[in-house]
């Protein structure tokens, strides 16, 4: 039941033999060792496995690998600059103490990268809606929102509205 | 891994139908957010998946010359919500699908899947009911159109046959022009939620019969110029009547429903009549059949059904009349 | 202080934001087999037979083991330090797989295969027959006459344990006698009574990482388990008990973990995982359970019912309280009665009753999910009961809940019956600050006499929380420090980083004591029981306090060894030297103005007789809460030697080569109380049963904060968990004991849209017992949130909600009953 698939993962072209039954979550973790893609539920309820497919955030657990043919996949591993500098959203997560156990973190960062790609600013309430597909049990979302506001929010002094 | 034996990437609708016809264990997968969850729970395992995920003609929204909106069933919720035609013609549909799950699910799940899963709790269901949407089903023997109000057979059951593909969702101009509307999803959480209840109320206001010569209850909005309607609305609520009203529910019965009797009762009433809110709340209760489950009791759902009708009506009226309504009534 | 008290960035933040931090399942080898647990489909009964013949034919299946195959050994699972006294040992009441089925979903078999689909297909082909008994899902069912005892070899009925705690005169006389005495003293017409029955829900921890492990048998014959656990060393002991293997043949590795909240302070499927790899000839086997299994087959928070009574005077003096409390312990003992005892204790101690308090508590076995440790270990339940009662008293008696609490709450210098003493006491100051921040007086006034369907309310609740488990149980911890060739240092501990920031605060502590800057302190995050010194792990909000002492003690010894070597190199007495910012410096006499208070170092000398004190007793009054606890006596003078040069010489000197290391055990015999409160302002939309939290403020006295930014983040998380506990979280079962909502869609933990902005206030009062003046912080933030919300709803609507969670349906039902909608 193996089939050859071609896709671009973190900018690199990959030609892989995959099982047709695989989710993108499994392919990225098991075949490409991209373990930032976390499994928290397997049914799209927690958001820990969020990756970008052609710039759009999806739950990799509910995305058949077969659908990825020809597509561009981005995971957290693909965000650092070639010399190791953090992406601004990664840095904001560090600075704002938005990380605790860290298990939901890569998925949230991918949603944030999707937002950055849209080239607009968000209010705090809009950001709450944009990250509502990620469950976090450690942070109460407070510092995550602070980190996001730093990068894709309105400057604080403008009141955010 | 998902327990399937075969996977087929259909290249066209016809191709998908051929495969479905040929293989009795084959079923359709589009966005995957329902189908894969079912498979994981051990239901329908060991069969063939025919994917329509990558068929371009099933994506996007279009408008025909007669104003009919054509929604591609494989359009995901987030694309639907931001589509300019949806935002201008049926914004409440966009708002409704913006309440599905969370952002990632909305990037994956499709409007067609939301209908075809047959769930009364589907977030588009109540709105689709009020839009009199027509569903185009294509099978091995050709194509047929089914009104969404006749689409559901029971919980999780629709008239769609296993080898049919939903190829388009049609909404005629007469069903959206001149209407304002509101969809309220009631859930225990504000996101990642299955609706405890969904209520959509849409109204079309117009001049009172003595002003316009038109009787109430007409549904000939098809050719009406939206700009003219707005001018009429600007005349103020005192002289406005409810020319048309549509009330749709999800989870108020085993399938999504319309409340035709209540609609008939309210049609023709003055927009400034404060009693319409009590009326809608009272009368919808006679048309619904909510069930008790561990998610919510029947009594609680009845409370929500009445309260949400009042609030959705009020919101729909506000969209038509603006804040002048606030001075006219004290309902809500 | 140089490092402690600073908001240093997390040492693991970079690894976590880049996705490079490895968790248990990320480390499994490529050829790993997959295991799946088979769960019973009855709630109470016995497995008669399991026919595996068809299942074994499924391609890919490697091994199927059933409850008839596993060793006949019952073992305990609690993440407690082992007790050497048999009477205090944890209850051993389960096997790796159980023939006797005690809950729907009990573990009866396991399948190992090459992939999950093969496991699932095989599971569907198992033929299982049962003998079925009536399910006893609730406490009432389990206690009813004729209910099947779930553990007949341990208990004749389903009472796991009953205890009765008493304080004050209620230790001698009963409530009615106290009432008579009070009537004589105050006059019968001056007495009022309040009764209530308050219930809390069973909830799941919902750490986002599943409970997961993988295991193999190493070439040296050791079964090696990599697990997502809070307690690697305890796990090693329990696996040894469960398999009947010597401890030395077990190795547990704990990498980063994706949250625990107490669920991973229990041994879950790791012993079975160890057994399965042995059964497969030592091949690596992963056992990652599903989210559904995580919800109902691991541990849960105890659902409790408290029946309470209080006697008080018309002018608001609390005279006596009683509680009869029942905890639903589920099918297996897990932590036994310890959590229920904690509920009873805190209920009793949180308020001062003139005649005392009687607090009876019972843990009951039922055929439902096993209850175990969860953040704050019963105290959220205790405080919900205690503070519902207080606000009901206030509503009935016409008292201001803030004033009533000020007048009746536990006082300064309180010493519990087990000796734990409130040293740094700030309960009332916490209340004052919270009340001021939320605008208590104005809001209580503004919200009087509301009408209409949408109403506003403000409410509060208070808590106290002991630090660690001494003297109820053992508190012991080891630390090891090693000097590297470049003058940096390694820190090795078995206190675990579980997301709370332990690695970071230990780095700060080590830096503080040694004078080596935090960037040169390398803490080993992974625990490996073959390498890491012993510690019992992450629980009881103990680590900064208990392990902190080990770090401090080890640091002092390590520093001394460095200075001894410096003394040799510089040919100067060690007493004249100190380490400051990676340099050996001359030590100058301490500046009088920055001289540290002796109380600060008493923690190093636990035998010093210590007098409880209130803020006002401190030398400088309230200002003294800013008092520093420096650990380096003296101040740095001229720099004499770089640590790098010292280290190089120490390693490679031909005349005196010395590898500078230190390793200590710290047996902690001290304890204190942390305390604080929650204030909530909210709006209730009564026709829809919706509660909107406008403001929520948590005030905490956790002593000196080691890292204020991380402390605040901890509080945020606890507050969010408390909001879920208050409004939406409950694991539901049907009458047959089948779980109804064992997934993250139907079990409602809050999303970002359900949580308001979270406000925090800290009182940094040095505690003389803490190694750096610090006290418990990890668990307390969750405690007082739910009762504060409940009391705000009472303030808004006049409706007393006596059961958690306060779901829209429950609210609507209550408002209808009161004729409000």
Which H or E element spans position C227? strand C223-227
- Residue-wise over C448-464: b if at least 16 C-beta within 10 A, else e? eeeeeeebbbbbbbbbb
Instruction: Tell me if C762 sits within 8 A of C711, measured CB to CB.
Output: yes
Same domain, A71 and A102: no
- Residue A51 CA to residue A58 CA, distance in Å, equals 6
Does A123 reach chain C within 8 Å, measured CB to CB? Answer: no
C653: Cβ contacts below 8 Å, ≥ 6 apart: none
Same domain, A71 and A131: no
Instruction: Tell me if A40 sits within 8 A of A49, measured CB to CB.
Output: yes
Domains of chain B plus CATH, in order, are 1-51 (3.30.43.10), 176-328 (3.30.390.50)
By Cβ distance, the residue of B6, B107, B192 closest to A45 is B192
Q: For chain C, which residues make up each domain, given as ranges? A: 14-133+211-288, 136-197+304-373, 476-589+634-667
CA atoms within a 13 Å half-sphere pointing along the CA-CB vector of B231: 5
Token reading at C670: 């001290």
**Which residues from A are below 8 Å from B107, CB to CB?**
56-58
Return the closest-CA partner of residue C251 out of C226, C283, C284: C226
Looking at the whole model, is its pTM more than 0.90? yes
* Phi, psi of B157, rounded to the nearest 5 degrees: -120, 135
Q: B272 CA to chain A: closest CA distance, Å? A: 33
Q: Which of A51, A77, A103 is the last residue of a domain?
A: A77
SS3 assignment, position C175:
helix
Would you identify the CATH topology of the domain C476-589+634-667?
A: Aldehyde Oxidoreductase; domain 4 (3.30.365)
**Rg for chain C, CA atoms, rounded:** 28
pLDDT over 80 (residue B234):
no
Report if residue A13 sits inside a domain: yes
Number of H helices, E strands in chain B: 14, 14
Token reading at A14: 């990959």
What integer pLDDT is reported at residue C625 of this predicted model?
Answer: 29
Same domain, A52 and A15: yes
For C123, the closest chain B residue by CA position comes to B42
Does C261 reach chain A within 8 Å, measured CB to CB? Answer: yes
**Which residues from C are below 8 Å from A109, CB to CB?**
17
- Residue C719 CA to residue C697 CA, distance in Å, equals 9
The proportion of chain C whose per-residue pLDDT surpasses 90, expressed as a percent, equals 90
- Residue C222 CA to residue C415 CA, distance in Å, equals 47
What integer pLDDT is reported at residue C769 of this predicted model?
Answer: 85
Same domain, A69 and A112: no
Return the closest-CA partner of residue C806 out of C755, C734, C748, C735: C748
Chains in touch with C (3+ beta-carbon pairs under 8 Å) read A, B
Q: What angle do CA B75, B77, B78 make, to 5 degrees?
A: 105
- Residue C534 CA to residue C177 CA, distance in Å, equals 51
- Residue C248 CA to residue C789 CA, distance in Å, equals 50
The whole domain housing A131 covers 88-158
- Residue A129 CA to residue B100 CA, distance in Å, equals 11
pLDDT over 50 (residue C622):
no
Same domain, A14 and A71: yes
DSSP B232: H
By Cβ distance, the residue of C688, C745, C808 closest to B192 is C745
What integer pLDDT is reported at residue C412 of this predicted model?
Answer: 87
Same domain, A113 and A49: no
Distances (CA, A) of B225 to B90, B180, C278, C352: 16, 14, 78, 75
User: Under an 8 A CB cutoff, do B2 and C117 touch?
Assistant: yes
CB-based burial label for C396 (10 Å; 0-12, 13-18, 19+): middle
Confidence of residue C413 (pLDDT cuts 50, 70, 90): confident
pLDDT in tens, C35-47: 999 999 999 999 9
SS3 assignment, position C463:
strand
Dmax (CA) of chain B? 67
Q: Tell me the sheet residues that pair with C305.
A: C199, C326
Instruction: Tell me if C627 sits within 8 A of C597, measured CB to CB.
Output: yes
What integer pLDDT is reported at residue C634 of this predicted model?
Answer: 80
The proportion of chain A whose per-residue pLDDT surpasses 70, expressed as a percent, equals 96
| Pairing mode, strands B152-154 and B197-207 | unpaired
Helices (H), C131-174: 139-143
Higher pLDDT, C591 or C352: C352
Instruction: Tell me if A65 sits within 8 A of A58, measured CB to CB.
Output: no
Q: At what angle do helices C401-408 and C379-397 cross, to 10 degrees?
A: 120
C648 alpha-carbon distance from chain centroid: 43
- Give me the mean pLDDT over the C798-812 stretch: 98
By Cβ distance, the residue of A42, A76, A137 closest to C19 is A76
What integer pLDDT is reported at residue C614 of this predicted model?
Answer: 45
**Which residues from A are below 8 Å from C7, CB to CB?**
97
pLDDT in tens, B162-209: 999 999 999 999 999 999 999 999 999 999 999 999 999 999 999 886
Distances (CA, A) of A119 to A131, C97, C371, C680: 17, 55, 48, 37
What integer pLDDT is reported at residue B222 of this predicted model?
Answer: 43
Q: How many CB atoms lie within 10 A of CB A142?
A: 25
pLDDT in tens, B271-327: 999 999 999 999 999 999 999 999 999 999 999 999 999 999 999 999 988 755 544
Instruction: Tell me if C482 sits within 8 A of C661, measured CB to CB.
Output: yes
Confidence of residue C620 (pLDDT cuts 50, 70, 90): very low
Return the closest-CA partner of residue C680 out of C807, C800, C798, C789: C789
Q: Which of A17, A44, A77 is the last residue of a domain?
A: A77
User: Under an 8 A CB cutoff, do A102 and C16 touch?
Assistant: yes
Chain B, 185-204: which have a CB under 8 Å from a chain A CB? 190-192
Q: How many CB atoms lie within 10 A of CB C560?
A: 12
Mutate to test the interface with C, among A142, A144, A148 (most CBs of C within 10 A): A142
Domains C136-197+304-373 and C476-589+634-667 in one fold: yes
What integer pLDDT is reported at residue C417 of this predicted model?
Answer: 87
- State whether the Cα torsion B294-B299-B302-B307 is positive or negative: negative
**A9-18, A51-60, C69-78, C545-554: lowest mean pLDDT where?**
C545-554
How many domains is chain A built from? 2
Same domain, A15 and A71: yes
Instruction: Tell me if C235 sits within 8 A of C227, measured CB to CB.
Output: yes
Does C15 reach chain A within 8 Å, measured CB to CB? Answer: yes
**Which residues from B are below 8 Å from A56, CB to CB?**
107
Return the closest-CA partner of residue B96 out of B84, B107, B106: B106
C592: Cβ contacts below 8 Å, ≥ 6 apart: none
pLDDT over 80 (residue B228):
no
User: Under an 8 A CB cutoff, do A39 and C12 touch?
Assistant: no
Q: B104 CA to chain A: closest CA distance, Å? A: 5
Q: Report the CATH number at residue A152.
A: 1.10.150.120
Same domain, A65 and A102: no
What integer pLDDT is reported at residue B239 of this predicted model?
Answer: 75
What integer pLDDT is reported at residue B325 of this predicted model?
Answer: 53
Q: Which of A77, A101, A122 is the last residue of a domain?
A: A77
What integer pLDDT is reported at residue C596 of this predicted model?
Answer: 52
What integer pLDDT is reported at residue C608 of this predicted model?
Answer: 30
Which H or E element spans position B70? strand B69-71
Same domain, A46 and A96: no
ipTM of the shown complex: 0.97
Same domain, A110 and A142: yes
CA dihedral B315, B320, B322, B326 (to 10 degrees): -50
Q: What is the average pLDDT score of chain A?
A: 96
Confidence of residue B238 (pLDDT cuts 50, 70, 90): low
* Phi, psi of C779, rounded to the nearest 5 degrees: -90, -40
Report if residue A82 sits inside a domain: no
What integer pLDDT is reported at residue C615 of this predicted model?
Answer: 42
What integer pLDDT is reported at residue C765 of this predicted model?
Answer: 83
Q: What is the average pLDDT score of chain C?
A: 94
Q: B27 CA to chain C: closest CA distance, Å? A: 19
Return the closest-CA partner of residue B296 out of B197, B193, B156: B197
- State whether the Cα torsion C804-C805-C809-C811 is positive or negative: positive
Token reading at B267: 């049609």
The proportion of chain C whose per-residue pLDDT surpasses 70, expressed as a percent, equals 95
Would you identify the CATH topology of the domain C14-133+211-288?
A: Aldehyde Oxidoreductase; domain 3 (3.90.1170)
| Pairing mode, strands C690-701 and C759-762 | parallel
Same domain, A96 and A119: yes
For residue B159, is the peptide bond before it cis, meaning its omega torsion is within 30 degrees of 0? no
- Give me the mean pLDDT over the C574-593 stretch: 89
What integer pLDDT is reported at residue C607 of this predicted model?
Answer: 34
Q: Report the CATH number at residue A48.
A: 3.10.20.30
What integer pLDDT is reported at residue B217 of this predicted model?
Answer: 45
Same domain, A106 and A41: no
pLDDT over 90 (residue A121):
yes
pLDDT over 80 (residue C664):
yes
Instruction: Tell me if C399 sits within 8 A of C795, measured CB to CB.
Output: no
Q: How many CB atoms lie within 10 A of CB C145?
A: 5
- Give me the mean pLDDT over the C575-585 stretch: 95
- Residue C623 CA to residue C576 CA, distance in Å, equals 33
Confidence of residue B227 (pLDDT cuts 50, 70, 90): very low
pLDDT over 90 (residue C156):
yes
Q: How many CB atoms lie within 10 A of CB A122?
A: 20
pLDDT in tens, C677-697: 999 999 999 999 999 999 999
- Give me the mean pLDDT over the C308-321 stretch: 98
Report if residue A83 sits inside a domain: no
Chain A residues with CB under 8 Å of a chain B CB are: 19-23, 26, 42-45, 47, 50, 56-59, 62-64, 66-67, 69, 111, 129-135
DSSP C373: -
By Cβ distance, the residue of B45, B188, B191 closest to C728 is B188
Instruction: Tell me if C666 sits within 8 A of C478, measured CB to CB.
Output: yes
Token reading at B209: 């019969």
Report if residue A122 sits inside a domain: yes
Q: How many CB atoms lie within 10 A of CB C398?
A: 9
Would you identify the CATH topology of the domain C136-197+304-373?
A: Aldehyde Oxidoreductase; domain 4 (3.30.365)
For residue C140, is the peptide bond before it cis, meaning its omega torsion is within 30 degrees of 0? no
Chains in touch with A (3+ beta-carbon pairs under 8 Å) read B, C
pLDDT over 70 (residue A152):
yes
Q: Is C23 left (phi over 0), alpha (psi -120 to 50) or beta?
A: beta
CB-based burial label for C620 (10 Å; 0-12, 13-18, 19+): exposed
């Amino acid at each position: 039941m193996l089939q050859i698939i071609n896709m671009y993962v973190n900018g690199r072209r990959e030609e892989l033999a995959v099982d047709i039954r695989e989710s993108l979550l499994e392919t990225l973790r098991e075949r490409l060792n991209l373990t930032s893609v976390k499994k928290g539920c397997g049914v799209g309820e927690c958001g820990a496995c969020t990756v970008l497919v052609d710039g759009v955030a999806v739950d990799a657990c509910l995305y058949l690998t077969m659908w990825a043919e020809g597509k561009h996949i981005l995971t957290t591993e693909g965000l650092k600059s070639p010399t190791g500098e953090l992406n601004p959203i990664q840095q904001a997560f560090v600075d704002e103490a938005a990380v605790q156990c860290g298990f939901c973190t890569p998925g949230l960062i991918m949603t944030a990268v999707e937002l950055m790609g849209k080239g607009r600013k968000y209010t705090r309430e809009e950001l709450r809606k944009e990250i509502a597909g990620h469950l976090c049990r450690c942070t109460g979302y407070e510092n995550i929102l602070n980190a996001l506001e730093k990068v894709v929010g309105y400057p604080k002094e403008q009141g955010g509205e | 891994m998902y327990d399937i034996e075969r996977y087929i990437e259909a290249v066209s609708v016809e191709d998908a139908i051929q495969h479905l016809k040929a293989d009795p264990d084959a079923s359709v997968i589009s966005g995957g957010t329902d189908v894969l969850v079912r498979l994981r729970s051990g239901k329908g395992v060991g069969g063939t998946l025919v994917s329509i995920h990558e068929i371009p003609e099933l994506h996007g929204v279009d408008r025909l010359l007669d104003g009919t909106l054509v929604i591609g069933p494989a359009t995901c919720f987030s694309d639907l919500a931001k589509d300019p035609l949806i935002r201008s013609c049926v914004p409440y549909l966009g708002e409704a699908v913006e309440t599905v799950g969370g952002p990632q699910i909305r990037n994956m799940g499709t409007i067609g899947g939301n209908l075809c899963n047959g769930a009364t709790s589907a977030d588009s269901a109540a709105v689709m009911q009020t839009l009199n949407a027509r569903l185009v089903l294509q099978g091995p023997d050709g194509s047929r159109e089914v009104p969404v109000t006749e689409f559901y057979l029971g919980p999780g059951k629709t008239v769609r046959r296993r080898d049919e593909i939903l190829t388009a969702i049609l909404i005629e101009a007469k069903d959206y022009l001149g209407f304002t509307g509101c969809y309220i999803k009631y859930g225990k959480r504000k996101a990642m939620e299955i609706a405890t209840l969904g209520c959509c109320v849409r109204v079309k206001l117009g001049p009172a019969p003595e002003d316009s010569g038109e009787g109430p209850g007409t549904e000939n909005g098809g050719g009406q110029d939206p700009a003219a309607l707005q001018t009429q609305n600007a005349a103020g609520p005192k002289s406005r009547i409810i020319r048309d009203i549509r009330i749709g529910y999800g989870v108020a019965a085993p399938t999504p429903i319309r409340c035709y009797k209540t609609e008939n009762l309210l049609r023709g009433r003055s927009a400034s009549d404060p009693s319409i809110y009590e009326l809608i709340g009272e009368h919808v209760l006679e048309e619904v059949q909510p069930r008790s489950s561990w998610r919510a009791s029947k009594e609680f759902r009845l409370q929500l059904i009445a309260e949400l009708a009042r609030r959705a009506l009020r919101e729909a009226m506000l969209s038509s009349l603006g804040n002048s309504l606030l001075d006219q009534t004290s309902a809500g | 202080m140089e490092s402690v008290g600073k908001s240093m960035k997390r040492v693991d933040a970079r690894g976590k934001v880049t996705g490079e931090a490895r968790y248990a399942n990320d480390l499994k080898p490529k050829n790993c087999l997959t295991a799946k647990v088979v769960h019973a489909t009855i709630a109470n009964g016995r497995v008669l037979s399991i026919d595996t013949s068809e299942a074994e034919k499924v391609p890919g299946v490697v091994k199927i083991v059933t409850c008839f195959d596993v060793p006949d050994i019952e073992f305990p699972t609690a993440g407690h330090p082992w007790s050497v006294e048999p009477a205090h040992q944890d209850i051993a009441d389960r096997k790796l797989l159980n023939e006797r089925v005690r809950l729907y979903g009990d573990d009866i078999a396991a399948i190992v295969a090459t992939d999950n689909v093969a496991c699932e297909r095989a599971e569907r082909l198992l033929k299982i027959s049962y003998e079925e008994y009536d399910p006893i899902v609730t406490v009432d069912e389990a206690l009813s006459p004729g209910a099947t005892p779930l553990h007949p070899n341990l208990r004749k009925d389903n009472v796991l344990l009953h205890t009765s705690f008493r304080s004050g005169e209620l230790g001698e006389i009963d409530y009615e006698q106290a009432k008579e005495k009070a009537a004589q003293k105050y006059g019968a017409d001056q007495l009022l009574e309040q009764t209530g029955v308050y219930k809390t829900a069973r909830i799941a921890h919902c750490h986002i990482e599943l409970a997961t492990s993988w295991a193999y048998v190493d070439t040296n014959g050791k079964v090696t388990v990599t697990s997502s656990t809070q307690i690697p060393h305890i796990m090693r002991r329990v696996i040894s008990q469960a398999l009947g293997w010597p401890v030395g043949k077990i190795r547990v590795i704990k990498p980063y973990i994706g949250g625990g909240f107490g669920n991973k302070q229990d041994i879950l499927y790791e012993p079975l995982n160890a057994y399965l790899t042995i059964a497969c000839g030592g091949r690596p086997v992963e056992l990652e359970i599903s989210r559904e299994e995580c919800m109902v087959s691991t541990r849960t928070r105890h659902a409790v019912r408290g029946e309470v009574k209080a006697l008080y005077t018309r002018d608001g003096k609390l005279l006596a309280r009683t509680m009869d409390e029942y905890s639903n312990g589920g099918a297996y003992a897990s932590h036994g009665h310890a959590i229920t005892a904690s509920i009873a204790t805190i209920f009793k101690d949180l308020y001062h009753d003139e005649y005392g308090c009687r607090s009876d508590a019972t843990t009951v076995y039922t055929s439902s999910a096993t209850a175990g440790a969860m953040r704050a270990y019963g105290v959220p339940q205790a405080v919900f009961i205690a503070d519902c009662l207080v606000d009901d008293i206030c509503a009935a008696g016409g008292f201001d809940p803030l004033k009533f609490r000020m007048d009746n709450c536990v006082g300064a210098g309180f010493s519990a019956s087990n000796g734990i003493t409130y040293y740094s006491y700030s309960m009332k100051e916490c209340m004052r600050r919270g009340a001021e921040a939320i605008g208590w007086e104005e809001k209580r006034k503004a919200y009087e006499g509301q009408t209409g369907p949408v109403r506003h309310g403000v409410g509060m609740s208070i808590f106290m929380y002991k630090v660690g488990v001494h003297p109820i149980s053992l508190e012991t911890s080891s630390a090891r420090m090693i000097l590297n060739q470049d003058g940096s240092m390694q820190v090795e501990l078995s206190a675990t980083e579980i997301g709370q920031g332990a690695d970071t605060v230990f780095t700060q502590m080590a830096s503080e004591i040694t004078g080596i800057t935090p960037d040169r302190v390398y803490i080993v995050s992974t625990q490996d029981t073959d390498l890491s010194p012993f510690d019992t792990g992450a629980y009881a909000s103990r680590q900064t306090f208990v392990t902190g002492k080990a770090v401090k003690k080890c640091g002092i010894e390590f520093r001394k060894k460095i200075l001894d070597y410096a003394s040799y190199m510089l040919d100067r007495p060690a007493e004249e030297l100190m380490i400051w910012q990676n340099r050996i410096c001359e030590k100058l006499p301490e500046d009088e103005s920055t001289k540290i208070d002796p109380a600060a170092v008493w923690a190093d000398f636990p035998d010093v007789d210590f007098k409880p004190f209130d803020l006002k007793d401190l030398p400088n009054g309230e200002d003294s809460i800013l008092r520093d606890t420096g650990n380096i006596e003296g101040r740095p003078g001229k720099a004499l030697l770089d640590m790098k040069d010292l280290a190089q010489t120490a390693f490679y000197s031909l005349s005196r080569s010395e590898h500078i290391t230190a390793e200590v055990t710290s047996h902690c015999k001290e304890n204190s109380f942390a305390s604080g409160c929650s204030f909530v302002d909210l709006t209730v939309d009564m026709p829809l049963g919706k509660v909107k939290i406008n403001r929520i403020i948590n005030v905490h006295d956790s002593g000196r904060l080691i890292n204020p930014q991380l402390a605040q983040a901890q509080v945020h998380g606890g507050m969010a968990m408390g909001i879920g506990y208050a409004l939406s979280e409950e694991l539901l079962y049907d009458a047959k004991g089948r779980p109804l909502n064992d997934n993250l869609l139907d079990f409602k933990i809050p999303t970002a849209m359900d949580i308001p902005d979270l406000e925090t206030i800290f009182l940094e009062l040095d505690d003389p017992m803490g190694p750096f003046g610090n006290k418990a912080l990890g668990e307390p933030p969750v405690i007082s949130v739910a009762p504060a919300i409940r009391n705000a709803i009472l303030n808004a609507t006049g409706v007393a909600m006596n059961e958690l969670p306060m779901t829209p349906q429950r609210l609507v039902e209550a408002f209808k009953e009161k004729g409000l909608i």
